[in-house]
Amino acid sequence: MFKQKDNVKQRLNIIIVGCGKVGSTLVEILSNEGNDITIIDKNPSIIESMTNTFDVMGIEGNGASFTTQEEAGIKNADLMIAVTNSDELNLLCCTVAKQVGNCATIARVRTPEYSREFPYLTDRLGLAMIINPEYEVAKEISRILFLPSALEVSSFAHGQAELIKYKISKGSRLDGIKISDLSGITKTKVLICAIERDGEVFIPSGNNEIHDGDVISFVTPRKSARDFFSQIGVKTNKIKDTMIIGGGKAAYYLANMLIHVGISVKIVETDKARCEELSILLPKAIIINGDGTNEELLKEEGIENVSSFIPLTGIDEENIILTLYAQQVSKAKLITKINRINFRGVISKLDLGSIVYPRYTTSEAIIAYVRAKKNSMNSNIETLYHMFDHRVEAIEFNIDKESSVTGVALAKLPLKKNLLIAFINRGGRVFIPSGTDSMEVGDSVMIVTTHTGFDNILDILE
């Protein structure tokens, strides 16, 4: 019989400055997870809307002002998160908070020049974290381009394991296969963690079958993903070139990453001054000054033959239309950036290839930090990733000390239902565990579950 130590959940006092896309997403998730939230924004209508929608306190004013922070309760705050549109204001908010309060601070910083100075800024300003939305989006897109058969690719265990989303197509070798029989088709070690079927998501057992139209998420050691796709008859053609529409910060970061690994990059941008700037910053890229929504221009620049196409404009509707057009005229790998989360049901029915939501990409790391700060009794959250519209969570825990879950065969643990232990990372070796394996101090362990709000490894127990 197992006795679980009391796993007391701490409520954190969190101040969020700036209620744009990222700020509002953080307010929604962190308030729903039982934290005490106070928001600061200069726009009174935003304050009114947020306080009417969520159980939060609202302060109208300048988040960098000592008086405003004092009114918001900075002296009793556990965490300040500054996510306004200004890097300098975010850094100043955190600096003031460190001077007048005793809280951890997180700043959103987007400018490339500052990005190169993250270690210095974090150290000198005492920041717990700096988050760069455009850089995080670029990283997510680059991971997908390196494995173009996938819809999504998330990295765990310091890059040694990947969680991959893939849609089962008609005629797939996996159609009609029981999960327990998967080893008869592929010798690659994979674990099917979640299946979405007809709008419903569930954590499968070995008796479940995979069917045409299913969207599956599976975990595998990083170097094994291509082998798995090859063994199930899926071609994973290497991306040789890409066309990016829009020359913003995300486009710059992405182009830099792709050029570094030998992928040719062409960026189409309407603003001439920005084109000149990008030509200096990215001498190996082809920069086109023109309207990326112009059909003739796209054909002239080779959209019909490009191996990947990524619209990164600031307008969701443009990105969607461009992806649908590219889907008609080319065989390119398509990745669509969508900022807003309205009409996700409609969007999911469109053939938009891989979809990237910057607000969620940015918020995941912050939420992981908050949960780790709430409860560090036996473990800390290393990585957090939401799947299938936040209906499933994948969480990687670092196991710091002995507890009810360590040193015991997994088959003997009273685990909650709708939960899988996906991998164990032990000394840099990632493996998919069997029932006879156990978790040990020093391991990092990834769990996938339809439960939400886990902040400690003990939460996996009934």
> Domain coordinates of the chain in residue numbers?
13-131, 160-231, 241-356, 371-460
pLDDT higher than threshold 70 for residue 413: yes
Q: For the residues of 262-293, what is the DSSP string, one character each?
A: T-EEEEEES-HHHHHHHHHH-TTSEEEES-TT
Walk across the sheet containing 333-337 and list its strands.
286-289, 264-269, 241-245, 308-311, 333-337, 354-356
The secondary structure of the chain in percent helix, strand, coil, rounded to multiples of 5, reads: 35, 25, 40
DSSP 85: S
Mean per-residue pLDDT for 109-134?
A: 88
Percent of the chain clearing pLDDT 90 (strictly above): 75
Predicted local confidence at residue 372, as pLDDT:
80
Burial of residue 310 (CB within 10 Å: 0-12, 13-18, 19+) is buried
DSSP string, 145-167: HHSTT-SEEEEEGGGTEEEEEEE
Percent of the chain residues past pLDDT 70, beyond the cut:
96
* Per-residue confidence (pLDDT) for residue 183, from 0 to 100: 84
Q: How far apart are CA 169 and CA 230, in angstroms?
A: 15
The whole-number average pLDDT for the span 436-441 is 96
The answer to whether residues 82 and 106 touch, using CB atoms and an 8 Å cutoff, is yes
More confident residue, 119 or 270: 270
Beta strands in 331-378 (DSSP E): 333-337, 354-356
CATH class assigned to 241-356: alpha beta
- 13-131 and 371-460: identical CATH topology: no
Residue 179's closest CA among 190, 168, 170?
190
Per CATH, the architecture of 371-460 is what? Answer: 2-Layer Sandwich (3.30)
pLDDT digits (tens, 9 = 90+) for 7-37: 455 789 999 999 998 999 999 999 998 899 9
Closest CA to 18 of 77, 59, 71: 59
**SS3 state at 220:** strand
Determine which helix (DSSP H) or strand (DSSP E) holds 134, and give its type and residue range.
helix 133-146
Identify the residue whose tokens are 């173009």. Answer: 148
* Mean of per-residue pLDDT scores for the chain: 91
Q: Alpha-carbon distance 362 to 167, whole Å? A: 25
Under 8 Å CB-to-CB from 61, ≥6 apart: which residues? 40, 42, 67, 68, 71
Question: Which token pair is 81?
Answer: 């998160």
Fold for 160-231, please state it. Alpha-Beta Plaits (3.30.70)
Summarize pLDDT for 320-352 with one digit per residue, the tens: 999 999 999 999 999 999 987 666 667 777 888
pLDDT at 299: 97
Note the pLDDT tens digit of each residue in 192-204: 999 999 989 999 9
For residue 33, report the phi and psi dihedrals to the nearest 5 degrees: -90, 10
CATH 3.40.50.720 fits 13-131, yes or no: yes
pLDDT at 425: 96
